[in-house]
């Protein structure tokens, strides 16, 4: 009979924990992109496509994971969505730290994970496909041209959940 060594068991358990940490309860759609070197270049637009599984009202979130190397207390994002041939664009600001400078979000490994709402209670139908684009809106008060790369951003994505009043309690 073959025995399994403790390191192999620990590796399997670690993998299971990592995979379960990526699941967002009650999410109908989750798409997250890893950013090479924990950096988000200013000219890097991330594209996502959501095909609803069920009709109904939905809440849309930006998933954002940052490390301690993110140099700012907030972040500006440009979010574009195309639904039924109509293009919507928003420039959004999200706080990344509390009043004492501590990172907001849930600490997972070296990252702080945040779900940041950008559209709430949006009616969707299974016959439509919604396309999203995310890009950093960079600036730096000390340089006219702004930052070319946002360091410390490790993952970015879109999460869609049924609207709160549609969710089972």
User: CB of 117 within 8 A of CB of 61?
Assistant: yes
Q: Which residues contact 33 (CB under 8 A, 6 or more apart)?
A: 46, 155, 156, 157
pTM of the prediction?
0.79
pLDDT tens, position by position, 81-139: 999 889 999 999 999 999 999 999 999 999 999 999 999 999 999 999 999 999 998 77
pLDDT tens, position by position, 40-76: 999 999 999 999 999 999 999 999 999 999 999 999 9
C-alpha closest to that of 160 among 137, 132, 141, 135: 132
Asked whether residue 139 is domain-assigned, the answer is yes
Write out the residue range of the structural domain in which residue 55 sits: 26-166
pLDDT band at 168 (very low <50, low <70, confident <90, very high): low
Q: Which residues contact 126 (CB under 8 A, 6 or more apart)?
A: 51, 52, 53, 54, 55
**Residue 159 is encoded by which pair of tokens?**
């999460």
CATH at residue 36: 2.60.120
C-alpha closest to that of 41 among 110, 112, 138: 138
Total domains in the chain come to: 1
pLDDT tens, position by position, 134-165: 999 877 666 667 788 999 999 999 999 999 87
Asked whether residue 18 is domain-assigned, the answer is no
């Amino acid at each position: 009979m073959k025995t399994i060594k403790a390191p192999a068991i620990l590796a399997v358990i670690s993998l299971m924990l990592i995979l379960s940490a990526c699941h967002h309860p009650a999410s109908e759609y989750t798409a997250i992109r890893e950013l090479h070197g924990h950096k988000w270049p200013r000219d890097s637009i991330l594209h996502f496509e959501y095909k609803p599984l069920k009709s109904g009202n939905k809440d849309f979130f930006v998933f954002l994971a940052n490390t301690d190397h993110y140099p700012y207390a907030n972040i500006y994002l440009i979010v574009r969505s195309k639904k039924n041939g109509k293009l919507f664009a928003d420039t959004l600001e999200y706080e990344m730290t509390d009043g004492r400078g501590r990172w907001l979000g849930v600490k997972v490994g070296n990252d702080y994970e945040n779900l940041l709402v950008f559209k709430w209670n949006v009616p969707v139908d299974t016959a439509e496909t919604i396309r999203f684009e995310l890009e950093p809106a960079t600036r730096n008060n000390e340089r006219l041209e702004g930052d070319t790369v946002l360091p410390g951003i490790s993952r970015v994505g879109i999460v869609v959940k049924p609207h709160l009043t549609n969710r089972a309690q």
